[in-house]
Amino acid sequence: MTIYGIGTDIVQVSRVAAVMTRTNGRFAEKVLGPDELRVYHARQARSAARGLAFLATRFSAKEAFSKAIGLGMRWPMTWRALQTLNKPSGEPMVVASGELAEWLDARGITARVTISDERDYAVSFVIAETGQESGTMQTETQAAPAAQTQVQTQPQPPTQTQPPTQTQPPTQTQPPPSTPTPDAPHAPATDE
């Protein structure tokens, strides 16, 4: 795999709350894809704070993804063309559709995403890669029935560990003469 790009984004949750207030909730419909919107409404129904945190993390993930692929928020990267959903294990996965999925497929771009939130902030980190598939995103042409791009994580082969090596006891090093040490005597001050 070759890194195509890296993107990160941090969102202050209170700013998302302010936009939601200003737009009477339409911001969620503008930014979230259809599957994300269903999850958002379910979480919002349970707790306003959970719904807001979900919206902030998804907004952050879209911004980070747009940076990783080098487009920013311009065609074919649109808010609703990219969704961050969760696998049954809870691991987030990127799902692209439409022209964005075609654009990614034409370039062989896959992506890995991580998201996190606390009370005040949501943060996302995306690595876009090209090359051999391993923990990759399938495009809509590869995942025919879904017509969407999905990240699939394949198990990695176990790494071989080296047998423990015998180490020598650490040698004592003396600091250079110009470096004061805590137990070194200090010259008395003189009044000259």
Residue 99, annotated as binding a ligand: no
Q: 128, 103 in Cβ contact below 8 A?
A: no
Alpha-carbon gap, residue 117 to 124, rounded angstroms: 9
C-alpha dist (Å) from residue 44 to 25, 51, 117, 131? 11, 4, 16, 39
Q: How many Cβ atoms sit within 10 Å of the Cβ of residue 27?
A: 19
Residue 9, annotated as binding a ligand: yes
Alpha-carbon gap, residue 83 to 96, rounded angstroms: 6
Q: Is 61 helix (H, G, I), strand (E, B) or coil?
A: helix
b/e sequence 103-142, b meaning 16+ C-beta within 10 Å: bbbeebbbbbbebebeeebbbbbbbbbeeeeebbbbbbee
Binding-site sequence positions for Mg(2+): 9, 63
Binding-site sequence positions: 9, 63
